[in-house]
Structure 1
Amino acid sequence: MLRALPLFVALSLVGPALAQDIVGPGDIAVDGAIGRCRGTGPEPGLWACLAEAGVPAGGIAFARRLAEDPVIGGPGLMIGFAETGAVDLAEVLFPFLANTNEQTLFVNGTAGVVQPLALEPQTAGDRQTQAILAAHPQAFPSLRLAVVGHRAAGARQRFVASDMVTDGCRACAVVAMALTAYQFDAGELSGVEALGWIPPALADDEARATALATGDVQALQVALTLRGYEPGAMDGQPGETTTRAVQDFLTEFCLRVEAGLGEAALAILAAPPPYLDPPPCQHRERDARNE
């Protein structure tokens, strides 16, 4: 299945000026701090314990900010960070939560902190999603969101997150993968879109790579969607929207558009997530603008 986002090292990317800079890679909590301080309870001894355990002051301030947030409402320690532009990603461990104790948050935008779990949209109305629901009426997303893709275009950032859809309980069989897009413009959240549920055969990295090699259009649409491109509905039907997304992909990865989806392009598309680094040609353009 799609892999959870590994954010244990900072990713370097030149992007728009930060709307806020409340947390960064230097604020990552040291190993062992959670285990040492979990028994102190949420407050007030937690802060002193974290300081004694060597957690940076910025990391403690971030934990306190989360505890005071009316939506999040609990302290969380940052254990990973990825720099992606005006809005960055922080992997956070909430020591006093049960089922969702590890989450990825959007940070450093105009809002400071945005929790994807609080923004999950209604189930998409596409045919494939509805067919999965018809076959599994009790299916629901398990709220184990993983941000798997990011694409920037100017001041616009598009993040794509995956979530396992299970058949009636969190520990039940996985019957699909839900994909959701979160869009930010100049650091401000501007939209949340349910992209639809995809079957396990396309959610699995190896199976999707095999389908791509055979020219499967739906596998291509899923692969592009995961990277933040917008090929339209993931229904296996080719069209102008999918063609434009392919052209954008080829251009940003320094591949000849007129050559189409050759071996090099398919190899890139078949690589497993996460997809957080900027495409090479897009990165070069940004470097040139900042020289």
Structure 2
Amino acid sequence: MSDMTAIRLPLTVLALVLGVAACQPAGAPTSAEAQAAATIPGTAGGASPFSEAAIWDGEVDACRGQAPVADDCLARAMQAAKASPQAIAAAHQLGAQGNPGYVSAWREQDGVGIATIEYPFRANTNEGTLLVDSAGHTVDVDADVLPEMSRADATVKPFLDAHPEATPFAPAEASGSEAQPDGGVRLIYGTPMRTCHACADVGRLRVAYDFDAQRRFAGKQILDLR
């Protein structure tokens, strides 16, 4: 074999390597990067970002009045303030649902996560609560607490007949818990009923949120309205 042939073979191999590299999409993550992303809650791994690690408390005044891009501004503010990946992922999830905000506090009750959410860009009701089950699913205790189809139910109809203008006004507040026979737990939240935002309460709607023995969300139901 000539010296020229001996040189040509390594060059051919090098060309093949460079060709393969050129075919990779620009910015494609390496296997190590993909693995890292899979372990960060709220990214490729699919885990819930809501936990104690998602708590953040920072300055967002510069983002006020920037709707509908307030959530983008919030993300930049959190990144600049070195918020945790979980905090940023949780805020991103809230923004994607049309509710720009961030986790301001976290606690657990009977195995169920309870995240306090700060909604800094709302005109009213700047604080809310998400219940987080063992699978990472979240339940907003202020969302659809009195569905239209339930208004004819005997549990609520007498009150609504007497107060036809009354409606639930968030935020709901924790009002107790009950152990369930199957090992599950029921968390109870109460929401004031008013005829206007500044009006006095005329009643209170109590809603139960049930979780099974593994603390997976099992459903909710209206307990009473009086």
Same fold by TM-score greater than 0.5 = yes
1:41-80 correspondence to structure 2 within 5 Å = 41-68=69-96, 72-80=97-105
User: Shift of the alpha carbon at 1:37?
Assistant: 4.4
- Relative to structure 1, the CA distance from residue 61 to residue 81 in structure 2 (aligned partners, 3 Å threshold; closer, same or farther) is same
CA separation of 1:110 and 1:155: change in aligned 2, threshold 3 A: farther
Structure 2 gaps of 5+ residues are 1-46
Larger Rg: 2
Instruction: String of CA shifts for 1:25-84, please: whole Å, max 9, x gaps.
Output: 232112x4233544664243332211223433311111112222xxx3232211111112
1:22 aligned to 2:63?
no
Cα deviation, residue 130, structure 1: 4.0
**Aligned with 1:160 (options 185, 188, 195):** 188
Alpha carbons of 1:56 and 1:38: their partners in 2 closer, same or farther (altered >3 Å)? Answer: farther
Contact 1:105 1:113 (8 Å CA) reproduced: yes
| Residue 111 of structure 1, CA deviation | 4.9
CA distance in 2, matches of 1:119, 1:190: 16
Residue in 2 aligned with 1:196? 224
Task: Tell me, in whole angstroms, the C-alpha distance in 1 between the residues paired with 2:64 and 2:133.
Answer: 27
> Where do 1:190-269 residues align within 5 Å?
190-198=218-226
Relative to its length, the structure with more strand (as a share) is 2
User: Is contact 1:22-1:112 (8 Å) kept?
Assistant: no
Using the alignment, how far apart are the partners of 1:131 and 1:145 within structure 2? 22
Q: Distance in 2 between matches of 1:109 and 1:98?
A: 32
Letter in 2 for 1:90: A
One-letter amino acid of the counterpart of residue 120, structure 1 = V
Cα–Cα, structure 1 residues 43 and 23, in superposed 2: closer, same or farther, change >3 Å?
A: closer
Distance of 2:134 and 2:144 partners within structure 1: 16
| TM superposition score normalised by structure 2 | 0.65
Write 1 or 2 for the structure with the bigger share of helix.
1
1:133 is matched with which residue?
A: 160
Aligned to 1:175, which of 195, 202, 208?
202
Distance 1:144 1:137 in 2: 21
Match of 2:141 among 111, 116, 126: 116
Distance in structure 1 (CA, Å) of the matches to 2:113 and 2:100: 19
Report the alpha carbon displacement of residue 109 of structure 1 after superposing the two structures with TM. Answer: 3.2
> What is the aligned-residue RMSD (CA, Å)?
2.6
The offset of 1:91, in angstroms, is: 0.6
1:91 and 1:65 map into 2 onto residues whose CA distance is: 15
